[in-house]
A and B are shown apart, each in its own frame.
Chain A
């Protein structure tokens, strides 16, 4: 198939079985050279299994994995030119920081002097030069994380694998590390494969995201694509917040589908393959694409009553019971700009939406 030079890792119909349990069901994907690629999904979705198969810690039950066109599925981990940043860092406790970073370079057959020089460069990259002689236990979590990164980058891997590297850090540090990681990826030009269950992390850092669930690839695309045009219910629900409404399709016309959602409420939205008149399907509408008004605005407008307002700092979340219909959540940005209004609970309102906000999902 595609053996193009710009493909860093190609996973071809890879299957992973543990006894009778199938952890990974026939996954195929191609990761581009120089890409920040994220495997995103809830725990147990198979993302870490796939990463460990690329690293060589798990055997491939079926299928093949190519690294720059070369089949690597049968190679042991120490023969694969990829390096891993482990979730718990896995720094060698009895070695100093410098020795940790030198380890991979030395094991690749470089001299001690060369390894030391390279370790110096890497520690400079992660700004830990002054800690070279400390032991890992003498560093904070964030520092250990950076040592793990330096150690994995030192042997100049073709691809860097990162297994939930930020999950053990606290929020502020995690946010700072996102930028640092992205920066380092740009600077080094190495392909990063990043595993996370944190959708915000995935959205902010990745060039492309593969959303996984239950051992299957749900959707692959750029952050915006996945957030704005989710393929199915799982992706719409897992990435960000959304109103998932069960609707039935009344009419299909010119690529637009008219659906009703209980009561007399009707909406038009994009048409999806496999949806026919009468189909019961799901509709996803992001809360921030909705706004409230006293009188119906132009376009789609649904009447309802405010049930509650929830203050979340950046936004105010309003829960609206549609008249004889489902509940909807509307997000209003917490600022005085624009003509936004917050309605008290009990107020009769109209829920309005921007063009194209309603997405019909193929379940």
Chain B
């Protein structure tokens, strides 16, 4: 009667216990050199003074963060007020990435469910089909999207041919085009984790729900979704985070006025017009934002996953 039967956790073996430190070394080195050190450099640069031809002067300064959040007038001598320009860019980036994530979820979930419910032999093929477009470089795919969506492009030709619209729908250079681009760029990151979760799902739970008088919709909401929630959260993070920092889709599909954080940061490091400390500061703010989102969702999925 006492407590836990079959907690189902993976048993940790002692096979590699002695050599654990050595075996983990390559990962630690890669993580250290290519992630930890660059991030620390970025953090350092964000507190330095800008050099006008790009680069930095080694002198401590908070001006990059100050410039991000406060408006002190053209000559920097006015009473500081909140600078909305960059906050707004952040805000619209979150909105764009969020919309792309929701779009991916709406299309990705049924896709993943469809694949996971095929016979075992054909699932591999469906997963393969989902990943095929990703054999082509992201830049090329995004440019192709531009041609597909433009006023004289195949999409509008098709819509007019079937008589759905009389004149071309203006999609390119709108928010929606950016969302479509992001959605298309990251859809497999939504499909694959959800597919993995649905494949592990015990479908007799759905039968049990139907047996207990639940409608299809109630079964989805009360039984299937809670069971595959970790996969859904993972998919949303994997789409949302890269969308947030993306600059290809907004640059190519969104036009000049659809600026996102990725483009803002990119610009600070490109050419002579750049401002390295400001770019670094914007990156750090983006990083903190992403970390907060990850921590919240980690806590949420922990709560759902226990037991």
CA separation between A94 and B7, bound complex, in Å? 14
Given A77-B207, A138-B307, verify A107-B227 contact (CB < 8 Å): no
List A26-70 residues whose CB lies under 8 Å from chain B.
55-57
Q: Classify chain B's interface size.
A: 20 to 34
Closest residue of A by beta carbon distance from B204: A90
| A contact residues around B5 at 8 Å (CB) | 137-141
Q: Which of B202, B213, B218 is A90 in contact with, Cβ under 8 Å?
A: B202
| B contact residues around A82 at 8 Å (CB) | 211
Q: Which of A78, A137, A139 is B210 in contact with, Cβ under 8 Å?
A: A78
Q: Do B204 and A77 have beta carbons less than 8 Å apart? A: no
CA separation between A108 and B204, bound complex, in Å? 20
Interface string of A133-147 (1 = CB under 8 A from B): 001011111000000
| B contact residues around A234 at 8 Å (CB) | none
Q: Shortest beta-carbon distance, B184 to chain A, in Å?
A: 33
Q: Shortest beta-carbon distance, B230 to chain A, in Å?
A: 11
CA separation between A161 and B207, bound complex, in Å? 13
Among A56, A57, A107, the one with the most B-chain Cβ atoms within 10 Å of its Cβ is: A107
Q: Do B212 and A104 have beta carbons less than 8 Å apart? A: yes
Interface string of B60-101 (1 = CB under 8 A from A): 000000000000000000000000000000000000000000
Q: Shortest beta-carbon distance, B215 to chain A, in Å?
A: 6
| A contact residues around B215 at 8 Å (CB) | 78
Q: Shortest beta-carbon distance, B209 to chain A, in Å?
A: 7
| A contact residues around B218 at 8 Å (CB) | 107
Q: Do B213 and A94 have beta carbons less than 8 Å apart? A: no
A88 at the interface (CB under 8 A from B): yes
| A contact residues around B4 at 8 Å (CB) | 137-138
Q: How many residues of A contact B (CB 8 A)?
A: 30
| B contact residues around A139 at 8 Å (CB) | 5
Q: Do B307 and A94 have beta carbons less than 8 Å apart? A: yes
A86 at the interface (CB under 8 A from B): yes
Q: Do B210 and A77 have beta carbons less than 8 Å apart? A: yes
A118 at the interface (CB under 8 A from B): no
Q: Shortest beta-carbon distance, B170 to chain A, in Å?
A: 45
CA separation between A48 and B304, bound complex, in Å? 34
Q: Do B202 and A103 have beta carbons less than 8 Å apart? A: no
Q: Shortest beta-carbon distance, B303 to chain A, in Å?
A: 10
A155 at the interface (CB under 8 A from B): yes
CA separation between A92 and B226, bound complex, in Å? 10
Q: Do A57 and B207 have beta carbons less than 8 Å apart? A: yes
B140 at the interface (CB under 8 A from A): no
Q: Do A88 and B204 have beta carbons less than 8 Å apart? A: yes
Q: Do B307 and A78 have beta carbons less than 8 Å apart? A: no
Closest residue of A by beta carbon distance from B213: A107
Q: Do A94 and B207 have beta carbons less than 8 Å apart? A: no
Given A107-B212, A137-B8, A155-B212, verify A93-B207 contact (CB < 8 Å): no
Interface string of B198-209 (1 = CB under 8 A from A): 000010110111
Closest residue of B by beta carbon distance from A131: B1
Q: Do A155 and B213 have beta carbons less than 8 Å apart? A: yes
Q: Do B226 and A94 have beta carbons less than 8 Å apart? A: yes
CA separation between A82 and B222, bound complex, in Å? 21
| A residues whose Cβ falls under 8 Å from a Cβ of B | 55-57, 76-79, 82-84, 86, 88, 90-94, 103-104, 107-108, 135, 137-141, 151-152, 155
- The 9 A-B pairs of least Cβ separation, nearest first, read A104-B212, A135-B307, A107-B213, A90-B208, A77-B210, A90-B204, A94-B226, A140-B5, A107-B214
